[in-house]
């Protein structure tokens, strides 16, 4: 599978955005997904996942991110997904019928010093992306 391309430094007057399809993520192991995300973020890219991560992968992403934080180099990540809908069915019947499957939600991840969330609700994420 081809890697995401990073532009040359002399063309880096913009912000690179990598939109990664659910299909591309499907064949990847959890650590491969996390490595791909963090490699992109380390390069200053904004990574957008069509289908997000599982809760377990999110937990590991936080752990690996913490291990890679380095003063004056990498402060961590900003990550945004839509919050869970308050109308989601969490009843026993809903769980039996499969309503408790983690929803696959578009997820935006970027370097903490370059992306700032302006507003978030169940249907809208508004973020300010700056050049480093």
In this chain, which of 15, 48, 112, 129 binds another protein, going by CB under 8 A?
112
Q: Please report how close the Cβ of residue 76 comes to another protein at its closest, in angstroms.
A: 3
H/E element, 48: strand 46-49
HSE of 33, CA atoms in CB hemisphere, 13 A: 27
Regarding 126 and contact with another protein (CB under 8 A), the answer is no
Residues 20-79 that bind another protein (CB under 8 A): 54-56, 58-60, 62-63, 65-67, 69, 71, 75-79
Alpha-carbon distances of 125 from 11, 46, 105, rounded to whole Å:
28, 14, 12
In this chain, which of 17, 102, 116, 130 binds another protein, going by CB under 8 A?
102
Q: What span, in angstroms and rounded, lies between the C-alpha atoms of 34 and 69?
A: 15
Residues binding another protein (CB under 8 A): 54-56, 58-60, 62-63, 65-67, 69, 71, 75-81, 83-84, 86, 88, 90, 102, 112-113, 117, 120-121
């Amino acid at each position: 599978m081809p890697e995401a391309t990073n532009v040359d430094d002399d063309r880096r007057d913009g912000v690179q955005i990598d939109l990664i399809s659910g299909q591309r993520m499907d064949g990847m192991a959890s650590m491969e997904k996390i490595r791909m995300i963090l490699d992109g973020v380390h390069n200053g890219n904004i990574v957008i996942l069509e289908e997000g991560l599982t809760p377990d992968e999110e937990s590991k992403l936080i752990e690996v991110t913490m291990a890679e934080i380095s003063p004056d180099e990498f402060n961590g990540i900003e990550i945004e997904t839509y919050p869970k809908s308050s109308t989601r069915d969490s009843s026993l019947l809903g769980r039996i019928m499969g309503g408790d499957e983690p929803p696959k939600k578009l997820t935006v991840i970027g370097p903490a010093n370059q992306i700032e969330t302006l507003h978030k609700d169940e249907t809208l994420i508004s973020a300010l992306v700056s050049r480093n």
